[in-house]
Amino acid sequence: MRIQLSEHFTYSKLLRFTFPSVIMMIFTSIYSVVDGVFVSNFVGKTPFAAVNLIMPLLIILGALGFMIGTGGTAIVAKTLGEGKPELANQYFSLLVYTGLIGGTAVGVLGILFVRPVAAALGAEGQMLEDCVLYARIILAANPCFILQNIFQSFFVTAEKPKLGLYVTVGAGLTNIVLDALLVAVFPMGLAGAAAATALSQMVGGLVPILYFLRKNDSLLRLTKTKFYGKILLKTCANGSSELMSNISASVVTILYNLQLMRLAGEDGIAAYGAIMYVAFIFAAIFIGYAVGSAPVISFHYGAENTDELKSLLRKSVVLTAVSGAAMALLATLAAAPLSKIFVGYDQDLYQMTVHGFQLFSFSFLLSGFNIFGSSFFTALNNGLISALISFLRTLVFQCASVLILPVFLELDGVWLSIVAAEAAAFAVTLACLAANRRTYQY
């Protein structure tokens, strides 16, 4: 039976409703993870480092989809809560079409300027050529990647989270199978890994287009629309925290890479890449829950159901605390076997990765609260506070940490930077929730 946004959510119902979004985000994160595993083990350490070096640029260029998806979902869900389904569909259609056009433009610019950007990041020689090759193939599918990020949020608003899950799992399996074929079986190397990811993004972006263009039994459908400038601006404002989070994370990754290149060379970048691949999957659980719960929060906010809003916040805090503790423990215990999957062929690199991952794992205790806190204010259509939390968490605190801590702790300071940044962001999240409690009556 389909769970509706208007229902009262128990712990069980909230978990069942958000579970497809969690799995969606995990499979989305698997794209880069699978590439990393195959590239590192079948192509080599230098191409693996090249993928990690250029990945921040690819994340920045795909961040438009996260902004439109999360920011637009808050508006569309609120409009549905106000009892205006036709207007909600027009808003939805405008945002999807905008994402398609914007994704194409951004992809073209990325293809044109990837070489000088990669060189500015420190790539040279074969690493530079690998960066350019990988990025250009990926960016050819950038419009589909942006659409996929948009639909991840809107499938939930359409009360079709399971369908969104099936699409994302299909795209993820496409990537895994093609990576195995194009890298391990047919030795196409780095180009094969990039092609596998690009084709899987096409599956994730185009299948939802076909579904929403047809008559369906969900709450949303692509229709004719007009230009709603204010809605587009509000979407950007609401989703600015997610845009900032992705851009900031990429900028911080660049800074991390520069510090690691200085302290540990190419091995440092490879170790950090392996850690981040696993961290992507762990963080995807928090992000998936935030994406899945946001439309519910927005709906009840639009319907002025304050009792349900309080209940949703309380249950979300409990679930985030339990899952954060579990993930921190699991990451600490599994650091060795997980590191071996990526860099087990090099003993020194393996030892560096295990040690770094064990220190990094403490960040999971608090990161879930900060991710949910930012998403919570986005769902309440308060993009300013949401952006503030994301900006401080993903840029200011991390930049400060990665610049200061290595001065005293050297390489360990790099691994502990994320822990210090999450602790500072947690204090900000708590302060924002306390300061706005009466305003939103949660």
Question: Would you write out the chain's pLDDT as a tens digit for each of its 442 residues?
Answer: 667 777 888 898 999 888 888 887 887 777 667 777 888 888 888 888 888 888 888 888 888 888 898 889 889 988 988 889 999 999 999 999 999 999 999 999 999 999 999 998 878 888 899 999 999 999 999 999 999 989 988 988 888 888 888 898 898 889 889 989 999 888 888 999 999 999 999 999 999 999 999 988 888 999 999 999 999 998 988 787 677 777 777 788 888 888 988 898 878 888 888 888 888 888 889 998 998 898 889 888 888 888 889 999 999 999 999 999 999 999 999 999 988 888 888 888 899 999 999 999 999 999 999 999 999 998 898 888 988 898 898 889 999 999 999 999 999 999 999 999 999 999 999 999 999 988 888 8
For residue 352, report the phi and psi dihedrals to the nearest 5 degrees.
Answer: -65, -40
- The region, left, alpha or beta by phi > 0 then psi within -120 to 50, assigned to residue 373 is alpha
Q: Note the pTM of the prediction, 2 decimals.
A: 0.69
- Domain spans of the chain, in order of start: 11-440
